[in-house]
Amino acid sequence: MKRDILIGFAVGIFAFLLVMGYNVVPIGLLLVGAWFVWTFVIQRQVLKNGNGVAIPTTTIDFEDIGGQSVAKKELQEALDFLLYSDQMKVLGIRPLKGILLSGPTGTGKTLLAKAAAKYTNSAFLSVSGSEFVEMYAGVGAERVRGLFRRAREMVRKEKKKSAIIFIDEMDILGAKRGSNVSHHEYDQTLNQLLVEMDGLKADQGVHILVMAATNRPDALDAAILRPGRFDRQVKVDLPDKEGRVAILKIHTKNKPLAQNVNLEEIAHETFGFSGAHLESVTNEAAIFALREKASEITEHHLHEAVEKVMLGEKLDRKPTAEELRRVAIHESGHAMLAETVRPNSVSQISIRSRGNALGYVRHYPKDDLYLYTQAMLEGQIMVALAGALAEEQILGTRSTGAMADYEQALNLVEKILSAGMSSLGITDVSLLNAEQRQPVTKHILAELEERTMQIIEKNKETLLRISEILEVEESLNGETLRKHLQNAA
């Protein structure tokens, strides 16, 4: 439409100039040259960016991916439709056209797609959703057409029966139509993808399966998720403890581990870590061993690596003696309360600066927990408040070091309100205004502050002793901390 208007406008200008007696030959040659450059140079280069990256042979197998047993099983079942298409045809089963992998970043969605290509002996073509976003009209749609053409060409070239097109960042390409009101090119590109997927038929000689990955499935257009397009949705979630052990074993297979290394303990301390985080832990541990010129990776190296991945590298900045004492008291307050409300929960306490933290207490859960009672949430709030209250009890004042603790406490109070555990009962929290929420929040925090302060006052001497040891040692592991607490008692 825009192109027709521009052509009509150009013809009108030419006719006007010709009638007025101007020599239009130079202008015509200039415009023809500009059109040639756009059509055969610029546009061709722009379209080339959306062809995807072809991986002729992928060495990734499902056995190389740990911690995703449910996702792998569900995905393999879906891929069997591709492997045994003749049997499926006899039963009248329609072949799958698309599989959507959804879950947090770093959980192995791309690895699963590569393993799927090897499992089905398919040609594999990988592309990012952001590569289809273009300011030029029609370019995104043409890139989609070119992607499917290239997939068919790869199948013929590699003499295979099927191809897998993997689209990462699907939420960019497949966002709900109309969400980008200022740019209809997004909608045209998505429409073209839907057309291409509707045109995939098993009797074309080449079976193309589209796999896509996103960490925002809620942002996708409803037309993508309907049956006949992305028929299967596979959830790729964060690994549980057993899965984390499996991932650590895979990533330490090529590394010299000391005999006393307990990977189950490392997995226990890395609740909430993705596969990418765990790979980084093993890599950082190997780097620590290299720095120390050690021939093996010890448990100490792995613990250091967990801290680095979680909190960042150690910093060279040195707090003043007064600051160091305050930080030691603050972190000792956190640790003592944690051991009071949930014994054996502290993994490490340190006053060494890492990232944005002057000190930290690292906790690990007794088990991987996904549900929390009111008592558990209140205990976590008390641990968060304990640092500032320890400062106030011993030094007489609080400091800005508790700002992140207060933020954590408020988030936990929000969970209590949303779960119907407060005096408000079961209610839609989003409909409450500040006047309704603030008194309840203030009451919960005041009550928990009082309970926390009572524990700190009762164990003031123990808290001081732990902080003094921490000032000298700078770091204590959980077992050492518990021994000091027992001796003090």
Known catalytic residues?
A: 331
d(Cα 130, Cα 253) in Å, to the nearest integer?
35
SS3 state at 209:
strand
Q: Which residue is listed with tokens 């406490």?
A: 409
What's the 3-state SS for 438-478? HHHHHHHHHHHHHHHHHHHHHCHHHHHHHHHHHHHHCEEEH
Report whether 11 contacts 107 (CB < 8 A): no
Give the strand pairing for 123-128 and 53-55.
antiparallel
For the chain, the farthest-separated pair of C-alpha atoms sits apart, in whole angstroms, at 106
Q: In Å, what is the CA distance from 422 to each residue of 426, 435, 448?
A: 8, 15, 13
**3-state class percentages of the chain: helix first, strand second, coil last, to nearest 5:** 60, 10, 30
Give me 335's structure tokens. 């640790």
Q: Which residue is listed with tokens 């408040």?
A: 385
SS3 state at 188:
helix
Q: What is the enclosing helix (H) or strand (E) of 235?
A: strand 230-235
d(Cα 242, Cα 260) in Å, to the nearest integer?
19
Give me 276's structure tokens. 């990418």
d(Cα 190, Cα 175) in Å, to the nearest integer?
8
Q: In Å, what is the CA distance from 43 to each residue of 46, 125, 132, 153?
A: 5, 22, 13, 22
SS3 state at 355:
coil
